Amino acid sequence: MAKLHRAAEPDVLKPLLDRARLTPDSRERVMDHALALLADLRAAQTRGWVNQFLQEYRLNSSEGVALLSLAEAFLRVPDPETADLLIADKIGDADWKAHSGKSNSVLVNSATWGLMLGRALVGDEKTGALRRLISRAGEPFVRQAVGAAMKRMGEVFVMGRTIDEAMKRMKKPENKGFTASFDMLGEAARTKADAERYFQAYFEAIRAVGRDPKAGHSISVKLSALHPRYEVAQYDRCVPELTDTLAQLASESAAQGIPLTVDAEESERLDMSLDIIGSVARRPELKGWNGFGMAVQAYGKRARAVIGWADDLGRPMHVRLVKGAYWDSEIKRTQVEGLSDYPLFTRKAATDVSYLACARDMLAARNIVPAFASHNALTVATILDWAGDSRDFEFQRLHGMGEGLYERLVNEQGYHCRIYAPVGGHRDLLAYLVRRLLENGANSSFVHQLADEQLSEAELLADPVEKIAAVGGTRHPSIPLPVELFGAWKNSGGIDLAERFILAETAIAIASKPLPPAETSAPTDVRAAIDRATAAFPGWAATPLVTRAAILDRLADLLEENRIELMALAVKEAFKTLPDALGEVREAADFCRYYALQARTGLAPITLPGPTGERNELRMEGRGVWATIAPWNFPLAIFLGQTAAALVAGNAVVAKPAPQTPEIARAAVRLAHQAGVPEDALVLVTGGPEVGAALTSDPRIAGVAFTGSTPTAKKIATSLLEGDDRPLVPLIAETGGINAMIVDSTALPEQVVADVLTSAFRSAGQRCSALRLLLLQEEIAEGVIEMLRGAMELLILGDPADPRTDIGPVIDQAAYDKLMAYRDSAKAQWIKTVPVPATGLFVPPTMIRIDRPEDLTREWFGPILHVATWKAGQLAETVARVNAKGFGLTMGLHSRIARSAELVEAEARVGNLYINRSMIGAVVGSQPFGGEGLSGTGPKAGGPHYLHRFCAERAVSVDTTSAGGNATLLSLDEGGI
């Protein structure tokens, strides 16, 4: 099963197509039944508020997206000023008038009228009778109306705010004949307190449902809500703890005599989930209880194998088959991690095929009690045909969706249908459910296609087997394999560290690689190195551009072939964790391939326009010998990125790594020579500041590429101007920054906390781009801080070679002493710190409160995060205060208000702005990296303008009339003597 989810899509689909295919006779029966179900569904569209809402405001319309985006954020905004900005942002530009009176629903039409009023007040309409009419009511009127609408949406999507309210609602006439699977749903746990709260909610819900066992209701639980570190790297800790936690819930369910189902998670957690579910299923105290169950996602390539696994457990298992809930995020993760193939199907029809094949297996299984969660009339009709007279299964649908599909089956034909019923506060739960709709391509689902009156019955009920067979089961053409993500250049390959056995193998392999003994270069070696590079420059510059580019491509291949050795050096010399070490090698390879492509397309000679009888050409050529000076925090990626750029532009290079990390640089240079770079065209010198000074002060150096501290960059800039006879040479400098993240009250706290932990503490805070200053809007500050405190408690500091480690030591004693001295000086302002191992250079991750942004005056290069607040309505002023610091490397913004993002984009004076994501991990060619002001000179590394800075631009103009004239002109058959 482990390798199946990386197999090619056609190979996985081939057996599924055979299993899902209908015979001609059954196809006719199924179509007849599906048409009847479709008629019931269409009739129900006039009844359900949500159905009519989705008909009028489809998710692929700007108004539909605007409404759901408003619903995602509005209820969690505590302050009126930001709420008004959010409303204006989401409804101020949409064309609500076009929807006026169009729906059969009075409620939908009323909502549309309210939105028209809202737009008139908060939109761009500054005059008119309607504006004048409602302007007296002011913004509170609109805010209250929107709040009421959002609460109404909450009632539609959420069964009840409490389990008692949800059970009471299930007794209403519209739910007659149906049972419920209640889910105390919410975000995944970020802290121990979150997990404990979710556990208590589940436990109390089990007891509440148990008070009325005849109702037949059940409970669904989400494992990621029960443990804040439900991650493969934390397997040894989280799996035993989660097994015990789930067993407690299962035991209570067994005692109450009600079913319990474990919901599905992302594919990277599948093996862990199966280990936990399998362990609980085999518990002797649960023998004889037949209510245990699990959900299986049909969009996963392993879905059918999981069905077989569940059947082989040797005990009755309730299996709920769903299409899947994390499609977009699964696709993105696979691309970002550079993995070999997707764990899921890339076409909706392929998921439908998988669903049918799994359904057929479930109906034939010995130990599975099937539950089919679907809103698709064709799927339901197919399952009914295959099941024949059997009633030993149930259907499931989401609360608020799919009304009409099952009522006749349940109340007239004796089938069983369960409603998946979310339970919880609207503020948190509505946001979660709406995100599922927004993030997972829900507009392509059957329910949303049903709302499209232009789709015929034949299109709605098209056979997915025929659709997939017609394209040979191939991957969707708009979703390239990760290696092909960037099209023109090959994306670097990753290692699937979310696979437990791969993670273990990688850790063992890295542990087996010894660190070579250190070598040093004396300052006197520098002159000899420059002598060699100077002599090699003419020959290397004369090497054809395509040859130099091909050498970089070969170097990228060699980096990936020697990935484990290079990762081991990064772990043992630079104290990088396994994910960071992998990222180091991938980024180095990406630099090489990207610069090879840029050289081919951007450094070739350009013919320029001019008068007849004249040839004009612009050439980009090497300048001479470049010095590249790299930092210890990216000892391979930045070291090789700077060097590869200089080389492919036709320069010879003397490369100096940081004194802390010479061995990984030495390995990189060996591979570069192996790839074809002449040994004298790339010369390595190692040592400390004296070696760097000797290098940059030599007048033969034609340019310097430096990454490091701002003070050192200034010293280098000064040294390049010394000496009357020294040429003016370029300096490319990328330095540090006081990098700020601004968070407003529309932001999702759980997402903010995850991104803050990554941005501030990953790599022990030793990244140029790392978050140093967190600026929280006052109204949400304490809540976010409290969640951050809890999340920080879970960070694991230790040996970076240990897969469990989140944060390793800082680079050396000098860095440790400087950081600890500053940290101790600010002890009175600590918000949170965490314990560290007794030995080693571990600086405790620390959160420090400051009164205002101006109190942070310098960059502290380590796991130290400063927190200040800002007032609602002062976003522009807050950005200006950050700009005033003079640094300009990275900035982050967390906000659901598009106009706020536009404001920050316009006003921020930074090289890299990150919105609603972490602030680290710039991708070559996708997010060119580099700052301005005190943070660097540009151009941006990994960007389209970088290589030109390494070149001398030379224009050549030739008068061809003096050597025979313009032959093309002479050949024209116009006029003549």
To which residue do tokens 């969009």 refer? 299
Pairing of strands 846-849, 830-833: antiparallel
To which residue do tokens 């369910």 refer? 253
Say what the alpha-carbon torsion angle 344, 347, 351, 356 is, to the nearest 10 degrees: -140
Q: Give Cα separations from 187 to 154, 230, 268, 975 (angstroms).
A: 16, 13, 18, 81
To which residue do tokens 């979710």 refer? 198
Which helix or strand (DSSP H or E) is residue 771 part of? Answer: strand 771-777
Question: Contact 190/238 with Cβ under 8 angstroms?
Answer: no
Q: Which residues pair with 892 in a beta bridge?
A: 741, 914
> Which token pair is 341?
């193939």
Catalogue the E-assigned strands of 52-157.
none
Catalytic pick among 238, 592, 768, 951 = 768
Cβ neighbours for 500, distance < 8 A, ≥ 6 positions apart? 232, 235, 271, 272
- Give the closest residue to 776 by CA, choosing from 738, 739, 741, 751: 741
* Rounded CA separation 207/204 (Å): 5
- Give the closest residue to 940 by CA, choosing from 907, 908, 912: 912
Question: Contact 624/652 with Cβ under 8 angstroms?
Answer: yes
- Three-state DSSP at 188 gives coil
Is residue 28 annotated as part of the catalytic site, yes or no? no
Q: What are phi and psi of 105, to 5 degrees?
A: -95, 125
Q: Which residues of 618-654 are buried (b: 16+ CB within 10 A; e: fewer)?
A: eebbbbbbbbbbbbbbbbbbbbbbbbbbbbbbbbbbb
SS3 of 599-646: the string is HHHHCCCEEECCCCCEEEEEEEEECCEEEEECCCCCCCHHHHHHHHHH
> Which token pair is 916?
């609603």
> Which token pair is 126?
């500054």
Is residue 768 annotated as part of the catalytic site, yes or no? yes
Q: Which residues of 214-244 are buried (b: 16+ CB within 10 A; e: fewer)?
A: eebbbbbbbbbbbbbbbbbbbbeebbebbbe
Question: Contact 324/297 with Cβ under 8 angstroms?
Answer: yes
Q: Which residues pair with 864 in a beta bridge?
A: 846
* Rounded CA separation 143/86 (Å): 10
To which residue do tokens 């490091």 refer? 708
Q: Give Cα separations from 922 to 298, 928, 940 (angstroms).
A: 33, 7, 11
Chain centroid to Cα 210, Å, comes to 40
Amino acid identity of 250?
Answer: A
Catalytic pick among 231, 266, 587, 734 = 734
Question: Contact 639/627 with Cβ under 8 angstroms?
Answer: no
* Rounded CA separation 56/157 (Å): 17
> Which token pair is 266?
């992302």
Other beta carbons within 10 angstroms of residue 474's beta carbon come to 14
Q: Where in the sequence numbering do the catalytic residues fall?
A: 734, 768
